[in-house]
Amino acid sequence: MSKTIPVQKNESVVVEFEDLTHEGAGVAKVDGYPLFVAGGLPGEKALVKVTKVGKGFGFGRLMELYEKSPYRVEAPCAIYKECGGCQLQHLSYEGQLLAKGKQVREVLLRIGKLRDVVVHPVLGMEEPWNYRNKSQVPIGEYEGGLIGGFYQRRTHQIINMETCLIQQEKNDEVVRVVKEICSRHGIRAYDEVAHKGMLRHIMVRYGLVTGEVMVVLVTKTRDLPNRNKLVEAIAEQVDGLTSLVLNVNSNKTNVIMGEETVVLWGQEVIHDYIGEIKFAISARSFYQVNPEQTKVLYDKALEYAGLSGAETVIDAYCGIGTISLFLAKQARKVYGVEIVPEAIEDAKRNAQLNGIENAEFAVGAAEKVIPDWYKQGISADVLVVDPPRKGCDAALLETIIAMKLKRVVYVSCNPATLARDLRILEDGGYKTLEVQPVDMFPQTMHCEAVAKLDLV
């Protein structure tokens, strides 16, 4: 007999929140039945109206708080409740770090069955605001002018935004100026329903150390009205502008960037530093959005690698060479592999930019390239992986186990897939020694972590 659901839609219930979901909603249980409620915090007692009921869980709306968490704060952003960019502004930063640490520990135990791993307290930021160096703003129209901001939660309705508290202030300033110039020169916003109009997104990249600015206009076609005057106005009015780029995306899609990129003014790239390493960043380059915490993350990966200068290191999922170039400073040789050809071109360019000659990069799937290297006699003392959110490919994990590498350093942006992959590596003969969570995205539920594993 199926279990009866203890609540009904539109019913009001008093609940106590026990946890947070990976999207930042409060989790309460009514006779064991989970309710997910935006705005609820662990330890709080509240009146909740049930808005949706499913077989395994339901959703509710927070109506009244009876008991507040000591970590509850007033969200400083005026559009926090409408915007979908942050989930945790109502939780103090101390509370956020505790919640993220708990999340990492719990998934390691629940998914990875890892009971005796040392999980260190989360490394947070001294100033957890205005950290993002890249702004991607969807553009719409309202009362004859251009608006830009974030999509309202779970909709494609644009909330106009002049300032964002997690963006670099420079980005906000540049978006405001470019939006106003485009509006003045008769540039119409793209209409995703009718598939008409011109301007889809304004993207701004800001070099935190260098002060260089890149503006990318993402448009439906390359035929830009009043092009020369528009370019001249942006070049004149955007302080620090180094690169103005047109990216053409003519597809009916919610993917932001298209395949075609044209430099309208200045250079193709801007530059920035993470630590002492200089990076060239193009419009479509992947580059960490929080360089301050990226250095914290990579310093920890470097510490866990334990390099003396004599080691050969393989960097799987090397991207544009960010971790590879850090490792190369302290290793004998680094081999990086990445499936995206443009990223490998960036990695080679960045190695050259820094005069690093002991890093070699190859295009391909790590699970295919690394076994080929192994057959050619290229083995490694240390392997570093920094996979996407879905975690490591199963074939790569099998390769790591077969190669019997002495040490693995796993850099993760998803604690759940980290836990899953650590379990597989442990079953293959590795021991997880310690895990260091790092907060790269304050005010959101995202948490990165670095794990250190040795062959036993």
Residue 110 contacts residue 441 (beta carbons within 8 Å): no
How does DSSP assign 192-210, residue by residue? TTTTB-SEEEEEEEE-TTT
On whether the CB atoms of residues 154 and 83 are closer than 8 A, the answer is no
Question: Is 182 one of the annotated active-site residues of the chain?
Answer: no
Catalytic one among 86, 392, 413, 447?
413
Contact 175, 135 (CB under 8 A): yes
The beta-carbon contacts of 361-365 under 8 Å, at least 24 apart in sequence, are 361/318, 361/321, 361/324, 361/335, 361/336, 361/337, 362/335, 362/336, 362/337, 363/337, 363/338, 363/339, 364/337, 364/339, 365/339, 365/393
CA triplet 155, 157, 161: central angle to 5 degrees? 120
Q: Residue 42 in contact with residue 19, Cβ under 8 Å?
A: yes
Q: Quote the strand ranges of 42-173, DSSP E.
A: 45-53, 58-67, 118-119, 134-142, 145-151, 158-160
Which is nearest to 381 in space by CA: 299, 285, 309? 309
Active site residues per annotation:
413
